[in-house]
Chains A and B, each alone.
Chain A
Amino acid sequence: MTAAAVNPVRAPRGTGWIMGHAVPVLAVLAAIVVVWYAGAIFLNTPVQRDMFARAGVTDYGFADLAAATLSQERPVLPAPHQVAADFWKWTFATAPTSKRSLVYHGWITLSSTLAGFIAGTLLGILIAVAVVHSRTLDKSLMPWVVASQTIPILALAPMIIVVLNAVGITGLMPKAAISTYLSFFPVAVGMVKGLRSPDVINLDLMRTYSATPAEVLWKLRLPSSVPFLFTSMKVAIAASLVGAIVGELPTGAVAGLGARLLAGSYYGQTVQIWSALVAASLLAAMLIAIVSLAEKLVLARMGVRP
C-alpha cells in the first residue's frame, strides 16, 4: 500500500539538484534503454536466424543480424524506437476520434479511472469519518477493511463487469465500480490515520471551546488530515488506473487501454502491446504528478513550509 510513499534518498551535501538527482536518474534511464536494446537483439535473434534461413540468406554478419532484429514486424521484444514510433503514430499522427488512436483509448480508460477514483475517495473519506466518530464501527468494521486489503479484489473484476452487463449497466459504470472498489481502501485507511493525527492538546483545546463533534471535524480533524489524504490519494489513483485497465479485459476488447492489450495479445501484435503499456504508464505518471502538484499547492496554501 505504501509502496509509492518511500522517501527519496538524500543527495550528499554540496551536490546540487542536477548532480544529486537529474544526472543519476538520467543515467539509470539510459542504462535501462541500453539493456532493452541488448535484450531485444538477444531475444529476437533466434526468430531472425530462422527468417534468414528461410529467405536463403546465409552470409550475414552480426551487424546485419542486429539491424534486422530491431526492425521485425512482430518481434519477441520490440526495440524502444519501434515502440516509440508506434506510440507516436497512434497518439499524435492519428485523429483522436479514430478508433485506433491511443488518445481515444486512453481517454476511455482515463474517464472510468477518474470516475472511480473520485467515488472511491469520497467513499473512503466517508468511512473514515464514520470510523473515527464511532468506537463500535472502529472495532467492528475497521478489521474487515484492513483484512479486505489482503484479498485479491481484482479477481472480482470480470464478475462485476459481466454481472452489471447482465443487469443492463454497461459502459463506464462497471469499470468505475472496480476502480472505486480498489481506490477506497487506501483512502479509508489513510484518512482514519489522518483524522486521528491531531494532538491530544489540540483536541483538548477544542473541548475547552466546547466545540461540537462537527466543529472539531471541520476545524481541526479535516485540516490536519490533508497530508494523509494526498499520500493515500496517490496510491488510490494508481490502483484506480489498474482497476480500470483490468476492468476492460473481460468486455471482449471493445475500447480502452486494457482492450488494446488484450487485442494485441490475441493477434500477436507485440509492438501494440508495448505502446499500450507505455500509454498506460504515462497516464499513471501524469495522474500521480497531478495529485502531487495539487498536494503542493494545497499544502502551500494551508501554510505548510517545506
Chain B
Amino acid sequence: MTAAARPKIPLLLLVTIAAGLGALVLVALGHSAAERNLILLCLLLPVAARAGLRLGGSGTGLVVLGAASVAALGWLVWTMPAARAGFTPAFWLLVLGAWTLGWQTCAALSAARPRGLALQRLVGVAVPLLFGAWLLLFWELACRGFAIPQVLLPAPSQVWARILSDWPTLLADFRQTFLQSVLIGYAIGCGSGFLAALAIDRVPFLKRGLLPVGNLVSALPIVGVAPIMVMWFGFDWPSKAAVVVIMTFFPMLVNTIAGLDAAGRMERDLMRTYAASHGQALTKLRLPAAMPFVFNALKINSTLALIGAIVAEFFGTPTVGMGFRISTEVGRMAIDMVWAEIAVAALAGSLFYGFVSLVERLVTFWHPSFRAR
C-alpha cells in the first residue's frame, strides 16, 4: 500500500485532545463528576489503546480495543436520551469520543493481518458490522438530537417498532411480491433466457445479430412495460411476474451467449480430437466454462427481479404487495411503515443475492476469483 493508506494518527490525536479540553471546560462549567469521568474514559481509551497497540501486543490489543469499542457503543445506546433536551454538549462529546474509539478500532482491525483463514474472515465481517452499527447509531442520534420529524425520516428504533407491530402485513406483502411475482418470474425469465441462448448458439448468424440487440435491450428502461403487462395480465401477481420475466430474460440471454464462447480454442480443439458431439462438448466443456457468466446474469437478475416486481405494483395491484404498501403508506405519510417495507425488501434482496453467490461458489469453485489467497 502507499503511504496514504496509513491511518493518520496525529489528526486523531489532535481531535481527541481538543475534545478532552472541551470536556475539561464542561466540567469546569459545573457538570457532574460521574459524567466527567465517563467522558474522559471514552476520550482517553482510543489513545491508550493506540499506544498499547504500537507497543506490540497486537492480538490481545485488538481484542481489548474491539471489546472497548463495542462496550462504548452499547453504553451509548443504553444512555441515549429520548428527547432533544437530553442532548447536552457533554453527550455530543461523549459521542465524538466513542466514535473516535470506533474509528480507531476499524483502522486497527483493517490494518491487522491475522494468521489463519477463520480469523481473517472474522475480521472481514467485524469491521463492516462495527461501521454499520455506527451508521445506524448516527441515524438514530440525528433523528433524536435534531428532532427530525417522523414524516421526513423515522429513526431506526421507530422502524423496528413498526416491523414488530405490523409483521403480519409485512409477511403477507412479502409472500405476494417475493414468493410469487419475483421467484416465479425469475425462474421463468432466467430459464427461458438460458434455453434461448442454447438454441441461438447453434446458429452463428443469429448469434451475431442478437448479441448487439440483446446488449442494447439490457440497457433500456424495461420497467416501462409494467403498465402494459398490468393491462394484459390483470392486477394480481402474474402481471408482475411477466415484468420480471421480460427484465431478466435479456441479461441471461446475452451473458449465456457470451459465456458459451468463453471456452478456450485449445480445449475446443481437444473436444474435436475426441470426436465429441455437440451435446457432449456442450455439457462437458462449454457449459461449465459458461457458468461464471451465467451466474453473473443470475446475480444481476436477482436485483432486477425485485425492482421490476415492486415498480410494477405502482401501476395497480390487489391490496397487498410491497410496492402497493410503499405507494399507499407514502400517501398516508406513514413513512416508518415504508422504511419497514424497504428493510424487508433489502433483507430479502441481500439474502437472495447471497444465496445465488453461495451456489456460484459451489458450482464455479475452480474459477480464479474464488481461489484462496
- List residues 246-268 of chain B with CB under 8 A from any CB of chain A: 250-251, 254-255, 257-258, 261
A76-B231, A166-B151, A166-B152 known; A6 vs B215 contact (CB < 8 Å): yes
- Interface: B274 (CB within 8 A): no
- Interface: B172 (CB within 8 A): no
Contact with B along A212-238 (1 / 0, CB 8 A): 010010000000000000000011001
- Interface: A138 (CB within 8 A): yes
Closest beta carbon of chain B to A239's beta carbon, Å:
9
- Interface: B2 (CB within 8 A): yes
Please give me the residue from chain B that is nearest to A22 by CB atom.
Answer: B209
- Picked from B124, B225, B322, B335, the residue with its CB within 8 Å of the CB of A155 is B322
User: Is the beta-carbon distance between A136 and B107 smaller than 8 angstroms?
Assistant: yes
User: Is the beta-carbon distance between A152 and B251 smaller than 8 angstroms?
Assistant: no
- Interface: B138 (CB within 8 A): no
* Alpha-carbon distance between A141 and B129 when the two chains are bound, in angstroms: 10
B106: A residues at CB distance < 8 A: 136, 139-140
User: Is the beta-carbon distance between B310 and A152 smaller than 8 angstroms?
Assistant: yes
User: Is the beta-carbon distance between B227 and A262 smaller than 8 angstroms?
Assistant: yes
A197: B residues at CB distance < 8 A: none
Closest beta carbon of chain B to A21's beta carbon, Å:
6
User: Is the beta-carbon distance between B131 and A140 smaller than 8 angstroms?
Assistant: yes
A126: B residues at CB distance < 8 A: none
- Interface: A264 (CB within 8 A): yes
- List residues 214-235 of chain B with CB under 8 A from any CB of chain A: 215-216, 218-221, 223-228, 230-232
- Interface: B353 (CB within 8 A): yes
- Picked from B110, B210, B310, B354, the residue with its CB within 8 Å of the CB of A136 is B110
A23: B residues at CB distance < 8 A: 209
A24-B208, A155-B326, A167-B152 known; A238 vs B131 contact (CB < 8 Å): no
User: Is the beta-carbon distance between B345 and A265 smaller than 8 angstroms?
Assistant: no
- Picked from A21, A133, A270, A277, the residue with its CB within 8 Å of the CB of B212 is A21
- Interface: B275 (CB within 8 A): no
B361: A residues at CB distance < 8 A: none
- List residues 262-306 of chain A with CB under 8 A from any CB of chain B: 262, 264-265, 268, 270, 273-274, 276-277, 280-281, 284-285, 288
Most buried by B among A6, A149, A159, A281: A6
B231: A residues at CB distance < 8 A: 76, 265, 268, 270
User: Is the beta-carbon distance between B221 and A159 smaller than 8 angstroms?
Assistant: no
Quick check: which of A8-16, A54-62, A95-103 contacts chain B, the rest being far away? A8-16
A139-B128, A216-B2 known; A150 vs B350 contact (CB < 8 Å): yes
User: Range of interface residues on chain B?
Assistant: 35 or more
* Alpha-carbon distance between A143 and B353 when the two chains are bound, in angstroms: 14
- Interface: B311 (CB within 8 A): yes
A3-B219, A28-B206, A139-B124 known; A152 vs B212 contact (CB < 8 Å): no
A265: B residues at CB distance < 8 A: 227-228, 230-231, 315-316
- Interface: A187 (CB within 8 A): no
* Alpha-carbon distance between A235 and B304 when the two chains are bound, in angstroms: 14
B223: A residues at CB distance < 8 A: 154, 242, 245-246
- List residues 309-327 of chain B with CB under 8 A from any CB of chain A: 310-311, 314-316, 322-323, 326-327
B314: A residues at CB distance < 8 A: 158, 246, 249-250
User: Is the beta-carbon distance between B346 and A151 smaller than 8 angstroms?
Assistant: yes
Please give me the residue from chain A that is nearest to B200 by CB atom.
Answer: A28
- Interface: B211 (CB within 8 A): yes
- Interface: B3 (CB within 8 A): yes
A20: B residues at CB distance < 8 A: 208
User: Is the beta-carbon distance between A152 and B151 smaller than 8 angstroms?
Assistant: no
User: Is the beta-carbon distance between B7 and A136 smaller than 8 angstroms?
Assistant: yes
A134: B residues at CB distance < 8 A: 4-5
User: Is the beta-carbon distance between B330 and A250 smaller than 8 angstroms?
Assistant: yes
Closest beta carbon of chain B to A290's beta carbon, Å:
13
Contact with A along B338-360 (1 / 0, CB 8 A): 10011001100110111000000
A205: B residues at CB distance < 8 A: none
A76-B232, A250-B330 known; A9 vs B221 contact (CB < 8 Å): no
- Picked from B208, B255, B350, B354, the residue with its CB within 8 Å of the CB of A11 is B208
User: Is the beta-carbon distance between A281 and B220 smaller than 8 angstroms?
Assistant: yes
- List residues 134-179 of chain A with CB under 8 A from any CB of chain B: 134-136, 138-141, 143-144, 147, 149-156, 158-159, 162-163, 166-167
User: Is the beta-carbon distance between B228 and A3 smaller than 8 angstroms?
Assistant: no
Contact with A along B292-308 (1 / 0, CB 8 A): 01001100101100110
User: Is the beta-carbon distance between A281 and B212 smaller than 8 angstroms?
Assistant: no
User: Is the beta-carbon distance between A280 and B208 smaller than 8 angstroms?
Assistant: no
A27-B205, A28-B213 known; A135 vs B5 contact (CB < 8 Å): yes
17 A-B residue pairings within 8 Å (CB atoms)? A3-B254, A9-B207, A135-B1, A136-B107, A139-B128, A150-B352, A150-B354, A151-B306, A152-B310, A163-B151, A166-B333, A238-B220, A249-B314, A250-B314, A265-B230, A273-B227, A277-B224
- Top 10 A-B pairs ranked by shortest CB distance? A24-B209, A265-B227, A140-B131, A213-B4, A139-B110, A28-B209, A150-B353, A151-B346, A143-B128, A24-B208
Residues on A facing B (Cβ under 8 Å): 1-4, 6-9, 11-12, 20-21, 23-29, 32, 76, 133-136, 138-141, 143-144, 147, 149-156, 158-159, 162-163, 166-167, 203, 207, 213, 216, 234-235, 238, 241-242, 245-246, 249-250, 257-258, 261-262, 264-265, 268, 270, 273-274, 276-277, 280-281, 284-285, 288
Given A136-B107, A158-B330: 10 more A-B contacts, CB < 8 Å: A25-B209, A136-B106, A136-B110, A140-B128, A150-B350, A152-B349, A166-B152, A203-B2, A245-B223, A270-B231
